Amino acid sequence: MLIRVLGSAAGGGFPQWNCHCPNCSAVRAGKPGFTARTQSSLAVSANGRDWALLNASPDLRQQIAAAPTLSGAENGALRGSPIKAAVLTNGDVDHVAGLLNLREMERLTVYAARRVLDTLAANSLFNVLAPGIVDRAELPLRSSIALSGAGVDLGLTVEAFPVPGKVALYLEDAAAGPDFGTREGDTLALEVRDTSTGAKFFYIPGCASLNDDVRARISGASLVFFDGTLYDDDEMIRLGLMPKTGARMGHMSMSGPAGTVAAFEPLGVARKVFVHINNSNPVLNEQSAERRAVENAGWEIGYDGMELSL
Ligand code: MLT
Ligand code: MN
Ligand code: ZN
């Protein structure tokens, strides 16, 4: 099974269009130790020919162009794509807006939770993925389904399971109390398995905390891609960028006694890769103490174009 990190940044990318924080300014200036990143997405393939996207970011067009394997012609046909499916983990703009790039009458299947499918259906802009050409399939929770699209069986199964998180920003209901009307299934983790080899990994780009269920599922895993949005829960406030904590946005942070690095310590995960990294995160500076700290704890900082095989 081949996995490619298409985009390793959180919503906004790195640099973010309107951000002049120290990190964004440094990467814009081409300062050594800073690498630009596009928004949150992976691609996976069992056979190296047919691919599923895991989330579809607004930068998808650029991500496809940067990955020859995703832009190749099929059997000499004038039109065609190796991308047969897109599996969405939530309804956030950084994970769904890229679907609009897949609109040129190409057959594929979009897999998502019911509420995300309903949200797409309620927005007529997404009808450019013409029903009848682009299939929609509901992801069942806690049971695995085989991925297919355009009549091709991808040789992959996905089990989606809910993780603590928050409903998409644009669906927040302030009147609904402290969880803003979040429902089960609004934030999903994916366990992706190669049907023929049995190899599997977890993709969890958004997660507010590690509950017992998540811990039990990922314990001993060979590979986990995990929410690397912030280093410190209050870093956006401290930098004067935004009045929100990571917790308020539905993300656990890397540092601290309840942070991701500490929470993973007892889990025995062989390979741990941070993705969905916000532009404010100090680990994006390769020379930083924070970068050294997470790498010393056995974490890898995902980067655009990173390829892994399992
Ligand atoms: C998030 O991951 O918190 C969201 O992508 C934020 C956003 O929608 O801008
Ligand atoms: Mn996001
Ligand atoms: Zn910034």
Site to probe by mutation for ligand 1, drawn from 89, 93, 166, 251 as the one with most ligand atoms within 8 Å of Cβ, is 93
Q: Is the dihedral of CA 68, 228, 109, 155 positive or negative?
A: positive
Residue 116 identity (one-letter amino acid): V
pLDDT digits (tens, 9 = 90+) for 230-274: 999 999 999 999 999 999 999 999 999 999 999 999 999 999 999
Run of H or E including 61: helix 60-65
227 lines ligand 1 (CB under 6 A): no
Shortest-distance atom of ligand 1 to CA 205: 2
| Nearest ligand to the CA atom of 250 | 1
232 lines ligand 1 (CB under 6 A): no
Is residue 74 over pLDDT 80? no
Shortest-distance atom of ligand 1 to CA 168: 8
Shortest-distance atom of ligand 1 to CA 250: 3
Query: What's the rounded Cα separation, in Å, for the pair 154 and 22?
Result: 42
The answer to whether the beta carbons of residues 179 and 157 sit under 8 Å apart is: no
155 lines ligand 1 (CB under 6 A): no
pLDDT digits (tens, 9 = 90+) for 158-204: 999 999 999 999 999 999 999 999 999 999 999 999 999 999 999 99
Neighbour count for residue 40 (Cβ, 10 Å): 33
Question: Which residue's structure tokens are 């049971």?
Answer: 143
Query: What's the rounded Cα separation, in Å, for the pair 94 and 56?
Result: 7
Distance (Å) from CA 169 to ligand 1 centroid: 7
Distance (Å) from CA 249 to ligand 2 centroid: 9
Question: Which residue's structure tokens are 């935004």?
Answer: 242
What's the average model confidence in pLDDT over 125-139?
Answer: 96
Which residues face 94 on adjacent strands? none
Closest Cα to atom 9 of ligand 1: 11
Query: What's the rounded Cα separation, in Å, for the pair 264 and 195?
Result: 27
Query: What's the rounded Cα separation, in Å, for the pair 14 and 286?
Result: 14
Query: What's the rounded Cα separation, in Å, for the pair 205 and 132?
Result: 30
φ, ψ (nearest 5 deg) of residue 119 = -65, -45
Query: What's the rounded Cα separation, in Å, for the pair 40 and 37?
Result: 9
